[in-house]
Structure 1
Amino acid sequence: ELQEHIDAYINAYNVKAEPFVWTKKKVRQRRFKGRRITQL
């Protein structure tokens, strides 16, 4: 039964599938030591 639902989802998704393109620029970690939560 679960396999049927998974197959149905995949078949429905594949109708409008398109390649994924990452659009966000480079992600950097921000240091938050010494900052207040409102400044994050």
Structure 2
Amino acid sequence: MIPVELWPIASSLKGELLQMQRPQERFAFIIDCFKTYLSWE
């Protein structure tokens, strides 16, 4: 569940993902976001 404060960020990330054409590009982006998220915890 995403905290309400992060919704705008999440929706803009979703927009970025939709603009990426290549699957490996999306995958790398998701991994990157995940690493960032883990480093915040």
Normalized per residue, the structure richer in helix is 2
TM-score calculated relative to the size of structure 1: 0.39
Structure of larger gyration radius: 1
TM-score calculated relative to the size of structure 2: 0.38
